[in-house]
């Protein structure tokens, strides 16, 4: 059963847990300090949570410390069930825990009377947990001196509170704390964390999908407006096209370029509208799925993946599939580079997806470059320039000066029959010059 009223433990509950944990943890060594893997949490871990692997010759436990505001916890788990998160990186306090505690033996574990505080003693060090929901903290202390803290502090010396003002007649809630089962509390907290995280994820996902629908609708409106504005005008008199003070030849050239620009805008708008409508349709389908009565974590992950919310994970996966050069643009999109004929063919026709951006130096043999885009995402000018620069460099154009680079969606790139060459349509062109400063970022 998952209880929805956990707001931290009172001092009697902490005292009850400490007595239970003390019997099992005294004499155990800290083998490892790690950040627990939480596959059900965004990013694969929880912030402000650490695990301590404890063991002796015949016992193994994990002590889990959580300093999340409004719901701090410390729990004991049997064995070594939790793995270390590969995605998380240790904070300064996490590194301090590892540096000072790893390899030490627990010599005492107790609660401070009438305080929401745990004291874990080693030979010369103390790990002190202050489990006050409004301001949870942890300190590593030696002879009263604070060596490290989980939050920035100006304190250099730790003073133990006296606890005389705490309420006396507090209840030990059986739905959370069991005097018979020392592992019960942690199991309940883990279930609560899963439930709370699921609610936050689903609400966040709902807001993100609604935001994207709104963005796509604005793009659709803009494309439709561009299409209407560029429709041919009805002209009653040829002289309507001419302005005073400009020669006929200049007037004709002006009209020609204006119409050419309008046709290009019409073509772009006609191509964009079906794609935008398809994206809106996909987003609305995913939004409807969020109201599905049997929605679970697995389905939530599918929806997140469908709309490209886990772009970082997809980048890592694609990097694993592609054996050639791979870089990251300034905004984090992967840029994949083929440097020879075989790599170009594999990258363009096996690795790249239809809506990825494909780059090639105009009119010269050279590298194929692909910017991998999550669904419904567009690349900024900075990303376009990054990819164009790499296309020039890996085509041998470091000293070419100003160079034209074409780009288009990969779905518009076709293999020329009986040839290693390709053809492409619906492309745009960037004019770039090798920029050493920009290139240094990729080294």
**Would you give the distance in Å from CA 5 to the centre of its chain?**
30
6 assigned to some structural domain: no
pLDDT of residue 3: 47
pLDDT at 273: 86
Report the pLDDT value the prediction gives residue 121, as an integer from 0 to 100.
Answer: 96
Clarify whether residues 132 and 40 are in a common domain: yes
Number of domains in the chain: 3
Asked if residue 384 lies in contact with residue 402, where contact means CB atoms within 8 angstroms, the answer is no
pLDDT at 320: 45
Q: What pLDDT, on the 0 to 100 scale, is given for residue 317?
A: 41
Q: Which of 153, 182, 211 is the last residue of a domain?
A: 182
CB 354 within 8 A of CB 372: no
pLDDT at 315: 42
Quick one: 241 and 159 in the same domain? Answer: no
Segments in the chain below pLDDT 50 = 1-3, 236, 311-320
Q: What is the predicted pLDDT for the residue at 362?
A: 95
CA separation, residue 154 to residues 100, 157, 413 (Å) = 21, 9, 61
Statement to judge: residues 80 and 173 lie in one domain: yes
Look at the alpha carbons of 133, 135, 136, 141 in this order and tell me if their dihedral is positive or negative. Answer: negative
Is the full-model pTM beyond 0.95? no
pLDDT at residue 119, rounded to an integer:
93
Give 126-165 pLDDT, tens digit per residue.
999 999 999 999 999 999 999 999 998 888 999 877 655 6
* 406 and 297 in a common domain: no
CA dist 422 and 115 (Å) reads 73
- Write out the residue range of the structural domain in which residue 255 sits: 198-306
pLDDT at 2: 43
Q: What is the CATH number of the domain that holds 83?
A: 2.30.310.10
Convert the pLDDT of each residue in 345-361 to its tens digit: 999 999 999 999 999 99
- Out of 256, 283, 306, a domain closes at 306
pLDDT at 17: 95
Q: Is residue 277 part of a domain?
A: yes
Residues 325 and 280 placed together within one structural domain of the fold:
no
Q: What is the pLDDT of residue 311?
A: 40
Q: Determine the Cα–Cα distance for residues 93 and 36; give it in Å rounded to an integer.
A: 15
Q: What angle do CA 372, 374, 376 make, to 5 degrees?
A: 125
User: Same structural domain for residues 17 and 162?
Assistant: yes
Let me know whether 34 and 125 are in one domain.
yes
């Amino acid at each position: 059963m998952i209880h929805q009223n956990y707001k931290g433990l009172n001092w009697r509950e902490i005292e009850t847990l400490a007595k239970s944990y003390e019997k099992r943890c005294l004499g155990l060594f800290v083998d490892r300090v790690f950040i627990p893997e939480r596959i059900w949490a965004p990013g694969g871990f929880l912030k402000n949570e650490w695990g301590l692997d404890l063991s002796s010759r015949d016992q193994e436990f994990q002590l889990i410390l959580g300093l999340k505001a409004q719901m701090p916890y410390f729990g004991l788990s049997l064995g070594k069930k939790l793995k270390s998160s590969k995605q998380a990186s240790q904070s300064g306090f996490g590194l301090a825990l590892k540096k000072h505690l790893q390899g030490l033996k627990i010599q005492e574990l107790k609660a401070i009377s009438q305080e929401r505080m745990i004291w874990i003693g080693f030979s010369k060090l103390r790990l002190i947990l202050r489990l006050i929901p409004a301001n949870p903290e942890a300190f590593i202390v030696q002879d009263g001196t604070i060596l490290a803290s989980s939050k920035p502090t100006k304190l250099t010396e730790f003073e133990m509170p006296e606890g005389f003002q705490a309420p006396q007649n507090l209840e030990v809630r059986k739905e959370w704390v069991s005097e018979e089962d020392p592992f019960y509390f942690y199991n309940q907290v883990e279930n609560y964390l899963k439930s709370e995280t699921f609610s936050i994820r689903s609400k966040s996902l709902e807001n993100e999908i609604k935001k994207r629908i709104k963005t796509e609708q604005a793009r659709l409106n803009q494309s439709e407006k561009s299409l209407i504005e560029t429709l041919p005008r009805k002209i009653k008199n040829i002289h309507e096209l001419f302005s005073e003070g400009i020669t006929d030849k200049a007037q004709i050239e002006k009209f020609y370029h204006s119409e050419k620009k309008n046709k290009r805008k019409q073509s772009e708008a006609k191509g964009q509208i079906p794609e935008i409508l398809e994206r809106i349709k996909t987003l609305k389908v995913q939004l409807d799925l969020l109201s599905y009565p049997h929605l679970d974590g697995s389905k939530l992950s599918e929806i997140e993946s469908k709309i490209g919310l886990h772009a970082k994970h997809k980048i890592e996966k694609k990097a694993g599939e592609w054996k050639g050069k791979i870089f990251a643009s300034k905004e984090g999109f992967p840029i994949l580079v083929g440097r020879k004929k075989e790599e170009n063919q594999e990258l363009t026709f096996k690795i790249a997806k239809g809506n990825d951006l494909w780059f090639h130096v105009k009119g010269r043999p050279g590298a194929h470059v692909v910017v991998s885009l999550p669904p419904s995402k567009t690349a900024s000018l900075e990303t376009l320039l990054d990819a164009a620069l790499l296309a020039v460099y890996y085509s041998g154009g470091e000293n070419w000066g100003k160079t034209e680079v074409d780009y288009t969606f990969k779905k518009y790139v076709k293999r020329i029959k009986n040839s290693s060459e390709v053809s492409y349509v619906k492309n745009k062109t960037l004019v770039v010059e090798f920029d050493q400063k920009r290139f240094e970022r990729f080294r």
